[in-house]
Amino acid sequence: MDWSEVPDKAARFENMVASHLLKFVQYLYEYEGYRVDLTFLRNVDKKEVDFLVTIDNKPWFCVEAKLADQKVSQNLTYFTERLQIPFAYQVVWKAGIDSDHRGVRLISADRFLAALV
């Protein structure tokens, strides 16, 4: 749970995003009463997306955390299209980023995390 202790910078960033998403889904469950879950996506071809938030077992949004890569993840686009996920975010460490790329919002961590509870 203490993401600040993770030695690898990229893994530390991903764990920080995970901690904030977990806090967000716990808030939605405990205070708002939603049946919400935080999971990940992976298929048999080893395509993977870091986080998927569902409400009532239906995809709501997915998140890919990238320390520096501002090129939209192909896996994020793949799963968003195949599973018809309403919202997709690629969260990056660099500040001041906020753009849309074929339905995937490329956004800086400070903006994304500030929008959560």
60: helix, strand or coil: strand
Residues above pLDDT 70, as percent of the chain: 99
For the chain, what is the largest distance between any 2 Cα atoms, rounded to a whole number of angstroms? 38
pLDDT at 4 over 90: no
User: In degrees rounded to 5, what are phi and psi of residue 35?
Assistant: -85, 90
How does pLDDT run across 60-72, given as a tens digit for each residue? 999 999 998 889 9
Whether 93 and 65 have beta carbons less than 8 Å apart is answered as no
Residues above pLDDT 90, as percent of the chain: 87
CATH for 3-115 (3.30.465.10, 3.40.91.50, 3.30.230.10, 1.20.1260.10): 3.40.91.50
CA–CA distance, 79 with 23 (Å, rounded to integer): 24
CA distances, 59 to each of 64, 68, 112 (Å): 15, 26, 18
CA–CA distance, 87 with 100 (Å, rounded to integer): 11
* Domain extents in the chain: 3-115
